Structure 1
Amino acid sequence: MSFQPAISKEALNKISREVRSWRLHQRIGSTFAQLAKAINPIVDGWMRYYGAFYRTALHPLLERINSYLMRWIRKKYRRLRTFKKALRAYQSAVRAYPAMFRHWRWTPHTWRTG
């Protein structure tokens, strides 16, 4: 038998509810830096605690945060409403500021388009 200490399904669901409750897409008055300042301490704590041994179990959650950031970009900037334009803007932000969001250390550019 083997044991891999990873985040439990219940804890992952609880964290997912927390991320949804932030309603990032509705914070269009905030800047990217303000969003980073608000969520970085929380996400960093989750990454340190739950990702200490089996960090790939957190990737779906971190990718969801990335998708919420994409949704924020599309809501905030009218010219970036189309997915392709928003994706290019998101990827350029990741390249320009790779340390802005703490979770970008583990999932900087992972994006599922399918």
Structure 2
Amino acid sequence: MSLLGVQQIGYGSVSNKAKKAMRQTIRDWRMNWRSNRTLEEIATKVNPVIRGWINYYGRFYKSEMHEVLKHMNRALVRWVQCKYKKLKRHQRCATHWLGKIAKRETKMFTHWQWGITPPTG
């Protein structure tokens, strides 16, 4: 509450509508259908968009972006499961596999540089 008794709204925070639109954009990329691509190719495609979201929304209220960026990691895990037969039915193993890559190649994805990486196990 401010001195005037009006609740202040944080400027630059991410609205639920904006988060929903970002998650829909991630779904529209349909990464799990692109199992013929490499992780580097996916990174070059999505990094400019994610960097733009982080620069625009993450400037003032970074923690609001975590939900969307974790959704991006889940989409990458689904891609891993489609790409590699051994991990097809093992979501936790696919998450750990991707986490190991994130630990080794922290600059591959923009949100990994921000610290939003899959767990390594």
Q: From 8, 26, 48, give the equivalent of 2:33.
A: 26
Partner of 2:94: 86
Q: Does 1:37 align with 2:44?
A: yes
Q: Which has the higher helix share?
A: 1
Is residue 51–residue 58 contact of structure 1 (8 Å, CA) maintained in 2? Answer: yes
Report the CA distance between 1:51 and its aligned residue.
Answer: 0.7
Partner of 1:100: 108
Distance in 2, matches of 1:55 and 1:47, equals: 8
Distance in 2, matches of 1:50 and 1:58, equals: 7
Instruction: Note the alpha carbon deviations across 1:50-72, whole angstroms, 9 max, x for none.
Output: 11100110110000000000000
Q: State the identity %.
A: 30
Partner of 1:52: 59
Distance in 2, matches of 1:47 and 1:77, equals: 30
- 2:60 aligns to what SS in structure 1? coil
Partner of 1:4: 10
Larger radius of gyration: 2
Structure possessing the higher relative contact order (Cα contacts under 8 Å, 6 or more residues apart): 1
Distance in 2, matches of 1:55 and 1:107, equals: 11
| Unpaired stretches in structure 1, ≥5 consecutive residues | none
The normalised TM-score by structure 2 is: 0.85
**Residue type matched to 1:53 in 2?**
F
Q: Does 1:67 align with 2:71?
A: no
Pairwise CA RMSD = 1.4
The normalised TM-score by structure 1 is: 0.89
